[in-house]
Amino acid sequence: MLTTAGCNGVAVQVSYRNADLVAMSRVDKYLALDDAQDAVARRQMQQFFAWHRYEELPEYSRWLRSLKPQFARAMSTDEFERVIAELERRADRSVARFAEEMAPVVTSLQPRQLAHMRKAMDERTRELTKEYIEPSPAKQREERYDDLLRVAERIWGSLSAEQKRALRAASDARPLDHALFVAERRRVQDDSVATFTKVQKLALPAPRAAGELIALYDRTRPSPDPMRRAYFDQVMRGSAAALAQISASATPAQRKHAQEFLESLATDFDELSRRKVVASRAE
Q: In the structure, what pLDDT confidence band is assigned to residue 283 with cuts at 50, 70 and 90?
A: very low
281 assigned to some structural domain: no
Is the pLDDT reported for residue 9 higher than 60? Answer: no
The residue among 238, 70, 82, 88 whose CA lies nearest residue 155 is 70
282 assigned to some structural domain: no
pLDDT digits (tens, 9 = 90+) for 243-266: 999 999 999 999 999 999 999 999
pLDDT digits (tens, 9 = 90+) for 16-41: 778 888 899 999 999 999 999 999 99
| Structural domain span for residue 90 | 2-274
SS3 110: coil
170 assigned to some structural domain: yes
11 assigned to some structural domain: yes
177 assigned to some structural domain: yes
239 assigned to some structural domain: yes
Give me the mean pLDDT over the 137-156 stretch: 96
244 assigned to some structural domain: yes
| CA separation for the pair 180, 176 (Å, rounded) | 9
106 assigned to some structural domain: yes
Give the number of domains in the chain: 1
| CA separation for the pair 173, 167 (Å, rounded) | 10
Give me the mean pLDDT over the 161-185 stretch: 97
Percent of the chain exceeding pLDDT 70 equals: 92
In this structure, the chain runs to a length of 283
pLDDT digits (tens, 9 = 90+) for 219-232: 998 899 999 999 99
pTM to 2 decimal places: 0.88
| CA separation for the pair 139, 137 (Å, rounded) | 5
| CA separation for the pair 52, 192 (Å, rounded) | 24
Q: How many CB atoms lie within 10 A of CB 251?
A: 12
Tell me what pLDDT residue 278 has. 53
